[in-house]
Structure 1
Amino acid sequence: MNPLFDLTGQVALVTGASRGLGQTFARALARSGADLILTARRRESLADFAVEITAMGRRAVSLDLDVRDEASIQRMAAEAQQAFGNIDILVNNAGCNVRKPALDVTWDDWNLILDTNLRGTFFVAQAIARGMIDRGYGRIINIGSVTSVFGYAGLAPYGASRGGVRQLTMSLADDWGRHGVTVNCLAPGWFKTAQNQVLYENQEWVEYLTDRIPVKRPGRPDDLEGVVVFLASESSRYITGQTLLIDGGISVGATRATVPPKEAK
């Protein structure tokens, strides 16, 4: 394995690892040699996945974590430290969404999304960074979204939370860079996940979306594997405070300036 991407002997903590992209990130890190701390609101939901990780020859520990609860974050950080000692990599993945027109968003909707995606991201990073700073080394990967830089109707609080993650990433990078800790934001574009699966059942919408993506397809989970390993590894040592969009190019704007020629029949 290329030493620039080899994570052997390192410990990675992935939040929100019971399903979806959280598991994609964890698998990629395990394949590159990292041992895993997996978290979810209910650790029982991680049982099968932990078995999968150990079958790859890696150590895996499952912990309860509710990122909306400060005591839960502190307890998880202490248990993670006790289980493995040093934590080298944090993937701040836990998140949620509520899709509604802006006029229908409730006070509780807003609090749920912002408390999970933004406040939770900060306080998990803070709790884990303490040990990284003491050691003088760490890789923090906050999971953002194409909505970190783009606005979409029906996603007002979600976009606000993900835009906040981007700004938070830059601030923490400046705060902790002198201590050997890099902080970056991995921002997926349109990927089919458990949260948005219903959208992908609408073929008309999928065709509309695909037309706006320069590479002409939505993302697949394996499109994210290389980039999470890159940001977690030695190869990214001089990169911090950045938002890396893995979006097939939809963030270029994807609005036609000319009428496409008709295909010959």
Structure 2
Amino acid sequence: MSTTLFDLSGKLALLTGSSRGIGKHLARGMAEAGATVIINGMNPATVASTVAEFESAGLKAIGKPFDVTDSDSINTAVAEIEANTGPIDILVNNAGIQRRTPLLECDDATWEEVMNTNLASVFRVSRAVAKNMVERKQGKIINTCSIQSELGRPTIAPYAASKGGVKMLTKNMCAEWAPHNVQVNGLGPGYFATELTAALVDDAEFSGWLCKRTPAGRWGDVKELIGAAIFLAAPASNFVNGHILYVDGGMSAVV
């Protein structure tokens, strides 16, 4: 049946930055598709709360707080997961931050914080997980890109540069790991209404501009990212590699 193409039953999925926000929605969607999901975040209490919420809904979830910017923390966590829970079949690099500042006022610390969290973490976590995937000749990696992987806006240069980097890192991971049956793709959200964008959603001027700029004429609902993520994690995408799937209501398609 065609439904088996989107079945994640028996799969183990690690999602960074999944204790809240977009990552939490993606984790829940994958768990509902049958996967056991590993919830990650920096705050152990938030991770534990998310795991409890999933378990109360009958979903399979395990908590694993670790710092995605620290190689030692990453390597230890991945080794523990593989030894105690099982092989990681799916990795979603979702952890990220936004720091809004005019470029001329952006200090080194802010630039480096954004690059370390949004870009370097994708390299570090993928390196740790993909080593085992390559040896097993099987794996799925999804890197959270952004509409800002393609488009710039004032005050978000560090973020846009980091997400542009994630796009190209995704393509290079594909170039090296596709021969080992590891599919690496990017998920590129447009503008979605979340707790992190609440101020922009409530800004009538910005929301008006956004709705006019987006062919769909509205903000995205985070649940509308789940299907794309499951597709990239499932057998349905076995011959899709190095692709960035934008879920943006058509924003990147128009001038």
Q: Under a length normalisation based on structure 2, what TM-score does the superposition of the two structures give?
A: 0.96
Q: Paired residue for 2:246?
A: 245
1:135 CA drift (Å): 1.1
Equivalent residue for 1:100?
A: 101
Please say if residues 30 and 56 of structure 1, whose CA atoms lie closer than 8 Å, have aligned partners that are also in contact. Answer: no
Q: Is the 8 A contact 1:190 1:218 kept in 2?
A: yes
Instruction: Report which stretch shifted further, 135-144 or 41-50.
Output: 41-50
| Residue of structure 1 equivalent to 2:75 | 74
Output the CA distance in 2 between the equivalents of 1:163 and 1:16: 19
Distance 2:50 2:253 in 1: 36
Superposed displacement of residue 195, structure 1: 2.7
Q: 1:37 is matched with which residue?
A: 38
Aligned partner letter, 2:4: P
Q: Which residue of 2 aligns with 1:52?
A: 53
What pairs up with 1:146-161 in 2 under 5 angstroms? 146-161=147-162
Judge which range, 58-67 or 86-95, deviates more. 58-67
CA distance in 2, matches of 1:194, 1:139: 28
Instruction: State the alpha-carbon separation in 1 of the partners of residues 188 and 197 from structure 2.
Output: 16
In 1, the alpha carbon distance for the partners of 2:61 and 2:22 equals: 18
After superposition, where does 1:169-248 map in structure 2 within 5 Å? 169-248=170-249
Structure 1 stretches of at least 4 aligned residues deviating more than 6 Å after TM superposition: none
1:97/1:195 contact within 8 Å kept: no
Q: Structure 1 regions of 5+ residues with no counterpart?
A: 255-265
1:14 counterpart residue number: 15
Q: CA deviation at 1:158?
A: 0.5
In the aligned structure 1, how far is the partner of 2:42 from the partner of 2:241?
29
In 2, Cα distance between equivalents of 1:208 and 1:74: 44
Larger Rg: 1
Aligned residues: 254
Q: Distance in 1 between matches of 2:97 and 2:67?
A: 12
Deviation at 1:61, TM superposition (A): 1.3
SS in structure 1 of the partner of residue 96 of structure 2: coil
Secondary structure in structure 2 of the residue aligned to 1:64: coil
Correspondence list, 1:80-159, <5 A:
80-159=81-160
Distance in 1 (alpha carbons) for counterparts of 2:80 and 2:6:
27
Deviation, 1:171, is 0.2
With normalisation by structure 1, the TM-score equals: 0.93
Q: Deviations over 1:9-59 (max 9, x none)?
A: 010001001211001100110010000111111222112211222234333
Q: Determine the C-alpha separation between the residues in 2 that align with 1:133 and 1:61.
A: 24
Amino acid at match of 2:26: F
Q: Which runs of 5+ in 2 are unaligned?
A: none
Please give the secondary structure, in 2, of the residue aligned with 1:40: coil
The residue identity in structure 2 corresponding to 1:129 is A
Contact 1:31 / 1:56 at 8 angstroms: preserved in 2? no
Deviation, 1:104, is 1.2
How many Å separate the matches in 2 of 1:210 and 1:76?
42
